[in-house]
Amino acid sequence: MSTPVAIIGSGNIGTDLMFKVKRLSSELEVAAMVGIDAGSDGLARARRLGIATSHEGVAGLVALPEFADIRLVFDATSAGAHRHNNEVLSAHGKRLVDLTPAAIGPYVVPTVNLDEHLGAPNVNMVTCGGQATTPIVAAVSAVATVAYAEIVATIAAKSAGPGTRANIDEFTETTARALETVGGAGRGKAIIVLNPADPPITMRDTVFCLVEQSEIDESAVSASVEAMVARVQDYVPGYRLKQRVQFDRVDEPFLPALGRAFRGVKVAVFLEVSGAGHYLPEYAGNLDIMTSAALRTAERLVQVAAEGALR
């Protein structure tokens, strides 16, 4: 039997997530979708699918008859709105999967640390850049010591909605922290680029890792990265390496990123992420990887909850 879930946020991310749950998941069922724009395409589509809706935000969700049966809520709003939504829903005992950069709960990247947070009442999906690049930093960290990781996430300007644009600062801060706390880097830095090219470009991510070792096993690093890419592809088929992992020797008397001398190896990984086209255009891989990661996380959370209830 499917677990009833709700989605807060009827924009691009929330609507794509609704279609993913309906098309891909046997574990979950969208029982309600709410937003704050009565005329949004997401709410209109939800109504046509027979899903309960409200344009009164989290208060409207709580007022719906379906609310009592909902076990998990996806929040696809904004960092500021999520803080309020979490406060309201936590009081009702609802679990949350947070697709904003609010980071109230622990960062979760499915291929890296999902099983460490299965009991958390609120889990945070980091950011699109974090979901794309943290697995790579973790893969390098698994076989070498990463002193510093820097990522550049380049996305089509057309795929950056008002929520993304309003949370640029939170994006960079949250992603950088995830590179450290989940990816294992000593220090992390994140940069996002909104590319206005027309036709729109597919999401591209560059990952630089500084490994403070004069000699590293390049084949082991490459194998670790390639294995991680395959694991992410299990739920994001459009996630791929653009070329082989690159290695360069670095010997600097002063490296600004670290504020000190550095001697070691720079590992460079180049990625591309295209979407599945469930609701969003294929170039919007940045949004697709967030909804795909959230779906994988929610399915695992409800599976574990069901197993616990049966014991």
122 annotated as a binding-site residue: no
57 annotated as a binding-site residue: no
Q: Give the containing element (helix H, strand E) for 255.
A: strand 246-255
159 annotated as a binding-site residue: yes
12 annotated as a binding-site residue: yes
> How far is Cα 128 from Cα 203, in angstroms, rounded to an integer?
10
Of 178, 149, 174, nearest to 164 by C-alpha is: 174
8 annotated as a binding-site residue: no
160 annotated as a binding-site residue: yes
Rounded to the nearest 5 percent, the helix, strand and coil shares of the chain are: 40, 25, 30
275 annotated as a binding-site residue: no
> How far is Cα 181 from Cα 159, in angstroms, rounded to an integer?
28
Does residue 128 have an active-site annotation?
A: yes
> How far is Cα 102 from Cα 78, in angstroms, rounded to an integer?
8
281 annotated as a binding-site residue: no
101 annotated as a binding-site residue: no
Torsion (CA) 311, 308, 303, 306 in degrees, nearest 10: 70
166 annotated as a binding-site residue: yes
How many other CB atoms are found less than 10 A from the CB of residue 221?
A: 22
Parallel/antiparallel/unpaired status of strands 72-75 and 3-8: parallel
39 annotated as a binding-site residue: no
11 annotated as a binding-site residue: yes
275 close to 290: Cβ distance less than 8 angstroms: no
54 close to 111: Cβ distance less than 8 angstroms: no
162 annotated as a binding-site residue: yes
> How far is Cα 150 from Cα 162, in angstroms, rounded to an integer?
25
DSSP label of 40: -
Residue owning tokens 């950011």: 127
Single out the catalytic residue among 7, 128, 192, 294.
128
> What's the N-to-C CA distance of the chain in angstroms?
17
H helices of 182-236, in order, are 218-233
CA atoms within 13 A of residue 247's CA, in its CB half-sphere:
17
Active site amino acids: 128
Q: What are the binding residues for NAD(+)?
A: 10-13, 159-167, 286
Q: What are the binding residues?
A: 10-13, 159-167, 286
